[in-house]
Structure 1
Amino acid sequence: MPDQLSPTAADIREPEELNDVMEEPRRGRGRPRDPDLEARALSAALEVFGEKGWVAMTIDEVATRARVGKSSIYLRWPDKTSLLTDALREVQLGAAVEAAEGGAADGDLGEPVAEPLLRDYLIAHATRRANLYLSDAGIAMLRLYVEARAHPDVFADIRRRAITDFVLDERRRVEAAIQLVDGVSPMSTVQLLDAVEGAVFMHVLVTPPELVDRVRLNLADYIEQMVDNQLRAVGLSPLGS
């Protein structure tokens, strides 16, 4: 059985394709570079990974769906591991930036400053995650957790950069908010985030396709009630009173 890190037959580049990779940077008067190439490649990588999983994902198919040459992809990413890592990070960073641009009313991504903001932040965090799971990239995100368990060696770096880094950052922010609420609070940051994100994850995961639109419609109410229940469970007033 071939090593999972080795390229599949479909990924192996022919000599002429290698020449294309070397020649592309020297094109001065030819066809201008496509400014959307990277975005299309990252989107296609998520699509193929979500549909077929890690083993069946090939650079060939990503290139076809992105409508770009394999040489252009290899010029930017040396293998499908680095391509998938960037795709998964990009979609999560994009969701975080959108939330940050929404301002404090949508959940400030800066340092928490008061108990009401702990609630706001948890609501914003849960909403970001739910919207991500319900987006076009949602299947890729859901598959990521399974594949990271199924192929731990292959996914070691992907897991760190696309899961662990984000989890640790969220814990740091929530921990800061908890300390501002009560410097000696027995609340566990890990358990609080697990409860909030776990509820969102299961809410989306177990929803049949025909009810997804209803989930989207009622998402805000569901998340607010869920976060309030979690805060009550640890002895805090949802409204910070």
Structure 2
Amino acid sequence: MTQGDMPPLARVTTHDAPGRPRDPLVEPRALTAALEIYGQHGWSGFTMGRVTMLARVGKSSIYRRWPDRVELLTAAFERTALLFELDDSRVAGLPFQEQLLTMVQHRLYTYTTPTGTAIIRLQVEHHCGPDEVGEIWEGTLSRFRSGLRVLLSDAHITSRLRPEASPELLAEALEGCMIMQALAAPFPSVSTANVSEQSFALVKQVVAPWLTDPMTIQAAARPLPPIIGESTRTMAAPAGEDSEAMPR
């Protein structure tokens, strides 16, 4: 039977038969691996090869999506910024004190993950690194720092904070305390329970003295679990890997 004699469906199948389907988890694995590699090695040690090895994906799969390491790391931090924005939007309807505690918990928890290590490194390297690193920070994580400032500024406007309080300084104090907590603790020994306790202590010590009403939330409060967590750290390659061969 010639090609012209084949039924239409058979001709389409023969001509357009695809290879193995593209793995939808390649991108999240690669972006998660990119953050972990950057957090461990910094910009000078951040290479596409290291990312492909950790993510267990083929080099062609990486380069097909991101032609160079600047675009890859930008995409990884953009995804992180979007996850933080989504996290913040989930708690927008909570009472102020609970919303503040939840946001602090989510940030402190994230700081104890490989994603947090990458965030801390980028906040340092964008001041002293090459222009590319500064542009990555400006286009992605500069938004991440605005969440607590906006919340505390709104609380100041609505008189939940005393008139003499500075929302900007309180936000910076919380961020600085969280970074120090993450750097001082031996990674990755901080548990979710410890993070909850530390978050409550930070809010109580840093913000509570500036509240117009006493704190009503309790130390045992367990706010919403953060989106950034164990699910964003999975590296195991599932069956049906992307059509490109994985590096050996």
Q: What is the TM-score normalised by the length of structure 2? A: 0.70
Give identity over the alignment, percent: 32
Q: Residues 90-239 of structure 1 correspond to what in structure 2 (within 5 A)?
A: 90-98=79-87, 100-101=89-90, 108-109=91-92, 117-181=95-159, 185-209=163-187, 212-213=189-190, 216-239=192-215
Q: What is the CA-CA distance between 1:54 and the residue it aligns to?
A: 0.6
Counterpart amino acid of residue 96 in structure 2: L
* Alpha-carbon separation, structure 1, partners of 2:121 and 2:140: 12
In structure 1, the partner of 2:42 is 53
Q: Distance in 2 between matches of 1:60 and 1:133?
A: 25
Q: CA distance change for structure 1 residues 48 and 172 in 2, over 3 Å: closer, same or farther?
A: same
The CA RMSD over aligned residues, in Å, is 2.7
User: Equivalents in 2 of 1:183, 1:66: separation in Å?
Assistant: 45
Do 1:58 and 1:80's aligned partners in 2 also have CA atoms closer than 8 Å?
yes
* Cα distance change on mapping 1:186 and 1:43 into 2, 3 Å: same
Q: Take 2:110 and 2:208, find their aligned partners in 1: how far apart are those partners?
A: 26
Deviation at 1:92, TM superposition (A): 4.2
Q: CA deviation at 1:173?
A: 3.0
Q: Distance in 1 between matches of 2:211 and 2:53?
A: 54
Q: 1:175 offset after TM fit, Å?
A: 1.2
**Which consecutive unaligned segments of at least 5 residues does structure 1 have?**
1-26, 102-107
Structure with bigger helix share is: 1
The higher relative CO (CA closer than 8 Å, separation ≥ 6) is in 2
* CA shift digits 1:61-111 (9 cap, x unpaired): 21222222222212212321121122123234335535655xxxxxx235x
- 1:119–1:238: 8 Å Cα contact kept in structure 2? no
SS across alignment from 1:208: coil
Q: TM-score, normalised by structure 1?
A: 0.72
Give the match for residue 64 of structure 2.
Answer: 75
Which amino acid is 2:177 matched to? Answer: A
The 2-side partners of 1:57 and 1:85 are apart by 12
Give me the whole-angstrom Cα distance separating, in 2, the residues matched to 1:109 and 1:152.
Answer: 36
Aligned length: 202
**C-alpha distance in structure 2 between counterparts of 1:183 and 1:196, whole Å:** 15
- 1:3-14 aligned at under 5 Å gives the runs none
1:172 deviation in Å?
2.3
Q: Is the 8 A contact 1:46 1:137 kept in 2?
A: yes
**Partner Cα separation in structure 1 for residue 205 and residue 161 of structure 2:** 22
Aligned partner of 1:39 in structure 2 is 28
Q: Which residue identity is paired with 1:228?
A: K
Offset, 1:198 = 1.4
Question: Any conservation in 2 of the 1:99–1:128 contact (CA below 8 Å)?
Answer: no
Q: In the alignment, is the contact (CA less than 8 A) between 2:125 and 2:133 conserved in 1?
A: yes
- Give structure 1 regions of 4+ aligned residues with deviation exceeding 4 angstroms: 98-101
Counterpart amino acid of residue 109 in structure 1: A
For structure 2, the 5+ residue unaligned runs are: 1-15, 217-248
1:200 deviation in Å? 1.5
